[in-house]
Amino acid sequence: MAEGFDVVDIIRTKRDKGTLTNPEIEWVIDAYTRGVVAEEQMSALAMAVLLNGLGGEELATWTAAMIASGERLDLSAVTRPTADKHSTGGVGDKITLPLAPLVAACGVAVPQLSGRGLGHTGGTLDKLESIPGWRAQVSNDDFVRQLNDVGAVVCAAGDGLAPADKKLYALRDVTGTVESIDLIASSIMSKKIAEGSHALVLDVKVGTGAFMKDIDRAQRLAETMVGLGTAHGVKTVALLTDMNTPLGRTAGNALEVAESVEVLAGGGPHDVVELTLALAREMLRTAGVDSDPADALRNGQAMDVWRAMIAAQGGDPDAPLPTAAEKHVVIAEHSGVLTRLDALSVGIAAWRLGAGRARKEDAVSAGAGVVMLAKEGDAVTAGQPLFELHADDSARFERALAALDGGYDIGDLFEARPLVIDRVG
């Protein structure tokens, strides 16, 4: 690791739209991780990156330096090809739950390090933790063993994986630099590449309930991440998918688990099934396996892997899921077609009901959330139930209802949008 750089010079170079050298980038990421570069100095550099961007080689080196700040998982002992998936987050996005066992049932191991929810987007670990006994922490040895024995692991990332990202992510959150596509891409890809999988499929959400609201920025993010993955020897593709309306009919932890089990049993909402199969096909293709995942849904193989995956991490797949103490039904005021159901409105409502957290240390309610009894395109009649709100405390309903107010329209004409918008890679 080169020494002797002046961090102020590095900040000035990027401030003035200059290009950083590879040794400068490697040094500043390492020095920041070790505490040599101060938070205010890294804040200034992050803002300069937000305003002026990183070139292709700069970004590849920045990402590599973040990977090098910690350990890289060794999956060489896994006996089958591996493929991972990452979603940029949305409302009702429970896709990992049916997807991981489905892909595993088709012969590809799925090493899925997931996170917790913050704000209106739900976290995969929060959902799985609503299953009695299930634990998110898995040792590296058990991680590899479960991949070989079961085929899929969904768990929390250890502290040793890309520690530079953990530190920089928290800094970006409080310095107005979250929106930088270069910093988003390097954050996601440093962790995913460090996971050690051979193949990676990215689900880049676009729309009101997504981090990326417009197609152009989502396309740029997808192209940037695919480029980074490919440069680091990971076969990477991305799907751009619609997040203007929630996925499925539930938003909330245990509610989404129950819906995922419906999908694994051969039922479930058509959009959840469609996206699960689309991502599964990409993961199998990228991993070099020729198999139709629809067969594994129909014949029960994916359900068998789900049950084994949950049990391997201490969960009881047969245990009743938690339910909220209170319910409130929202009815349609007039008849027509549900022409709009806004993902962000539903996400905020679920958050306010207790399904999400405002700070990382907050607890979540396993049973809280929103059940959507009607979805976009459905005909409804006056007085028909539209939503069922679930909360542990009825005092939460008022603010949740305020979030839903104006979040849906009942009219005459509905024009369906494609769920999968584009493919990159």
pLDDT tens-digit profile of 103-150? 999 999 999 999 887 667 778 999 999 999 999 999 999 999 999 999
Asked whether the CA dihedral 71, 134, 362, 204 is positive or negative, the reply is positive
Is 165 in the active site? yes
Is residue 9 within a helix (H) or strand (E), and if so which, with residue range?
helix 7-15
Catalytic residue flag (residue 345):
no
Stated pTM of the model: 0.95
Judge whether residue 245 has pLDDT over 70.
Answer: yes
Check residue 1 and give its pLDDT.
Answer: 44
Instruction: Please give the Cα distance from 186 to 63 (Å, whole number).
Output: 5
Are 83 and 287 in contact by the 8 Å Cβ rule? The answer is yes
Among candidate residues 14, 30, 84, 86, the one labeled active-site is: 86
Q: Residues 94, 172, 235, 307: which is the catalytic one?
A: 172
pLDDT at 3: 61
Query: Looking at residue 122, what is its pLDDT?
Result: 74
- pLDDT tens digits for 145-185? 999 999 999 999 887 889 999 899 889 988 999 889 999 99
pLDDT tens column, 199-229: 999 999 999 999 999 999 999 999 999 999 9
Residue 404 pLDDT > 60, yes or no?
A: yes
pLDDT at residue 115, as a whole number:
85
Q: Quick one: pLDDT band at residue 317, thresholds 50, 70, 90? A: very high
Amino acid at 277: L
Q: Give the distance between the most distant pair of CA atoms in the chain.
A: 72
145 is catalytic: no
- Quick: pLDDT tens for 268-283: 999 999 999 999 999 9
| Confidence at residue 378, expressed as pLDDT on a 0 to 100 scale | 97
Share of the chain above pLDDT 90, in %: 91
Span 260-266, average pLDDT: 97
Task: Please give the C-alpha separations between residue 415 and each of 147, 162, 183, 209, 271, in angstroms, as whole numbers.
Answer: 43, 43, 35, 19, 16
Consecutive H or E run containing 191: helix 181-194
Give me the chain's average pLDDT, please: 95
Mean pLDDT for 29-37 is 96
Binned at pLDDT 50, 70 and 90, residue 2 comes out as very low
What is the sign of the dihedral through the CA atoms of 53, 194, 260 and 270?
positive
* Of the candidates 78, 254, 74, the residue with the CA atom closest to the CA atom of residue 150: 78
> How would you classify the pairing of strands 235-242 and 420-424?
antiparallel
Per-residue model confidence (pLDDT) at position 351: 95
Distance between CA atoms of residues 332 and 118, nearest Å = 30
CA–CA dist 285, 287 (Å, integer): 5
Mean pLDDT value of segment 336-341: 98
**Options 120, 191, 232, 235, the catalytic residue:** 191
Q: Is 360 a catalytic residue?
A: no
Cβ-contact 342, 244 below 8 angstroms: yes
The mean per-residue pLDDT over the stretch 30-49 comes to 97
Q: Which residue has the tokens 């959009």?
A: 271
Q: What is the pLDDT of residue 120?
A: 75
86 is catalytic: yes
Residue 44 has pLDDT above 60, yes or no: yes
List 30, 165, 182, 242, catalytic entry: 165
Q: What is the pLDDT of residue 159?
A: 79
pLDDT at position 358 is 74
Which residue among the candidates 187, 197, 260, 345 is catalytic per the annotation?
187
**Residue ranges of domains in the chain, CATH in brackets:** 7-68 (1.20.970.10), 83-159+166-312 (3.40.1030.10), 326-411 (3.90.1170.30)
What is the torsion angle, in degrees rounded to the nearest 10, for the CA atoms of residue 274, residue 419, residue 331 and residue 396? 90
Compute the C-alpha angle 251/381/255, nearest 5°: 15
Question: Which stretches of 251-342 are DSSP H helices?
Answer: 253-264, 270-287, 293-298, 301-312
